[in-house]
Amino acid sequence: MKKKSRFFQMICSLSAVCLTLLVSSPLALLAFSNINTAPPAVQPESLSKAAMYTEPSLVADAYYMNENTDSQPILAKPAYDVFTVEERQAKGLALEVPKASPYYGAKVVYLTFDDGPDPDNTPVVLNILKDSGIKATFFVVGNQVEKYPDILRRIYQEGHAIGNHSYNHVYRELYQSPNSYVLQLRHTDQVIKQTIGVRPRISRAPGGSAGSFTKEYWEMLRKLGYIEMGWNISSGDASSANAKRIMGNIAAQMENKNLWSHAVVLMHDGRGHSETVKALPEIIKYYKDRQFEFGVINLETPSPW
């Protein structure tokens, strides 16, 4: 009996040792297991389509143009391109902008500001817009962006639209030829993209296109995919008008009800335009009191005229 008991004790001890080794050793468990622990292969179909296209490094609430030719413009959002003209040409991508139907509402106003960013006026304008809960469009000058990149980033991140307003705003250099005009646009594209990671497709000619553009200018802009956007309501702030006069200028032109569906208001936030800043709260109130919708210039914005 003692021999059997000792033998039984030896068998139990050996079993306990084997069980301990099996539990504590993953390799041993794998040896006795038929479970396949290899991770499942990732199928190409499971990849997000978005991963196939270039995305901006600094994302805002906007519509972005990239390699995806099926992407449709987003109504009421700013529009940007993740590529410059040169990059699109190098990649063999189309330069034309996606087709979009013009948006005509019952009452729509687009507040636009030229010649910034400016360290004194633009931040105040942005504060007023933020407090009012509305968006606007800023046509910026390239050499001003180089001086005040943080202000441009704020414009972009707060959901406003950005447009190209040339590099130096010097008429005698800008309007020598269609090529000289476009070179300034492309230079400013580079400056803007270096600052926010994308560039605008909308542009505005300093002083307006009338009297400066020939058909060659328009043809070159079309081929390169720029959308030239003028205005149909002038605040008159390019002169020495005070805030009261600026408001009066806008109100007088708004008597033309044909403009109510797409009123594009020209203002300036560049140096020397503090009266525009003073007038802005009253301008916003004027349109809010009349139930106007505030929009940003994008691919759906109708031509002013």
Positions annotated as catalytic residues are: 114, 268
Tell me phi and psi for residue 103, to 5 degrees. Answer: -100, 115
Q: Tell me the three state secondary structure of residue 140.
A: strand
Considering only the C-alpha atoms of the chain, give the largest distance between any 2 of them, rounded to a whole number of Å.
Answer: 120
**Following DSSP, what letter does each residue of 41-94 receive, concatenated?**
PPPGGGS-GGGGS---SS--SSEEESS-TTPPPPTTS-EEESS-HHHHHHHT--
Distance from the Cα of residue 215 to its chain's centroid: 29
State the Cα–Cα distance between residues 296 and 60, nearest whole angstrom: 14
**Cβ distance 75 to 302 under 8 Å?**
no
State the Cα–Cα distance between residues 240 and 272, nearest whole angstrom: 9
* DSSP annotation of 257: G
Nearest to 259 by CA among 251, 270, 267: 251
State the Cα–Cα distance between residues 31 and 29, nearest whole angstrom: 5
